[in-house]
Amino acid sequence: MTTLPTKCELCPRQCGANRAAGQRGLCGADDTLVVARAALHAWEEPPISAGRGSGTVFFAHCPLRCCYCQNAELAHQGQGIPISVERLGHIFLELQAEGALNVNLVTPTHYVVQIKQAVADARVAGLAIPVVYNTSGYERAEVIAGLAGTVDVYLTDFKYGRSGESDAAERYSHAPDYFDYALAALDAMVESMGPAVFEDQDGWQVIKRGVIVRHMLLPGRSGESKRIIAQLWERYRTSVVYSIMSQYTPVRAVPGCPELSEPVAHREYEEVLDFADALGMDQYYWQEGDPADASFIPAWDGAGVLPRHHSE
């Protein structure tokens, strides 16, 4: 049986909500586990999706709640279907049976208590594929350390620069402490995982263990992106796998932030990639094509969440 916190401190907000009693935290979650979609997804980095697809489980709510979020229906509005921990474990096994290369937990922070139990139960029942923790990076290092034995791969964002060098974390996510928490969490991820381990499967290099760090450019902030990439490279070198992304897609007007109404300019992206090359980062993932077309936003239709032949 899972025991939810009576004073929630799972994320850096540390809001103290009594989740066990059904109180809603700043992330939006209460004592209910809510999932919006569970299906194969082909649009992650090559070692995650690798042709066959990643078994993505999209959770409702989010501790960071960025104002430009592409998945705002989930993160801000909590769209999804309430399920049990037992059902979550069954979902993992069903994704494996469908051929998923991994179980990909998208925005899992506020549900780590339930996730740890579901993964443990599923492994007893035959879950053998890696578990990917797909996060905004806004994590507590202590919580990451507690996921040893549950998570095999971290797929983490590193969104914003250090406070004092950038106002983006405060402006877009009301999290001026983002950089410090994300850095400490990434340290914990690297310490837990060690260097990335890949396995050849059908001609693809599939990640089995390790850390992939994503940085997505935001419009007009190529200078900040360069600083972040340089800081990460200086600290981690080849201990992590890098993914430099152009896929920012303006999906709605953001009041007070007119700069977010445009996609990332191609020249900005090329400039940042050239900068990464000049640092000596000769192996990283990058995106081709029109940035606004590069991101794939699934339909939040509840696919794969409930059993096919009956309701819970």
Residue 11 lies inside a defined structural domain of this protein? no
Cβ-based neighbours of 167, under 8 Å, separated by 6 or more: none
Please check whether residue 238 is in contact with residue 46, taking contact to mean a CB–CB distance below 8 angstroms: no
What pLDDT is recorded for position 309?
61
Instruction: Give the pLDDT confidence of 195-216 residue by residue, as tens digits.
Output: 999 999 989 999 999 999 999 9
What backbone phi and psi angles, to 5 degrees, belong to 36? -100, -25
Our count of domains for the chain comes to: 1
Domain region containing 35: 20-294
**Two structure tokens written together for 91:** 């979902």
Give the chain's radius of gyration (CA, Å). Answer: 19
Reported confidence tier of residue 60, pLDDT bands at 50, 70, 90 = very high
Please check whether residue 110 is in contact with residue 11, taking contact to mean a CB–CB distance below 8 angstroms: yes
Percent of the chain, pLDDT > 90? 84
Residue 15 lies inside a defined structural domain of this protein? no
Residue 308 lies inside a defined structural domain of this protein? no
**Two structure tokens written together for 36:** 């919006």
Residue 309 lies inside a defined structural domain of this protein? no
CATH, residue 228: 3.20.20.70
Residue 103 lies inside a defined structural domain of this protein? yes
Please say if the pLDDT value at position 185 is more than 70.
yes
Burial of 98 by CB count in 10 Å (0-12 exposed, 13-18 middle, 19+ buried)? middle
Residue 9 lies inside a defined structural domain of this protein? no
Residue 129 lies inside a defined structural domain of this protein? yes
Reported confidence tier of residue 296, pLDDT bands at 50, 70, 90 = low
Lowest mean pLDDT among 113-122, 231-240, 293-302: 293-302
pTM (predicted TM-score): 0.95
Residue 248 lies inside a defined structural domain of this protein? yes
What pLDDT is recorded for position 280?
96
Average pLDDT over residues 117-134: 98
Reported confidence tier of residue 21, pLDDT bands at 50, 70, 90 = very high
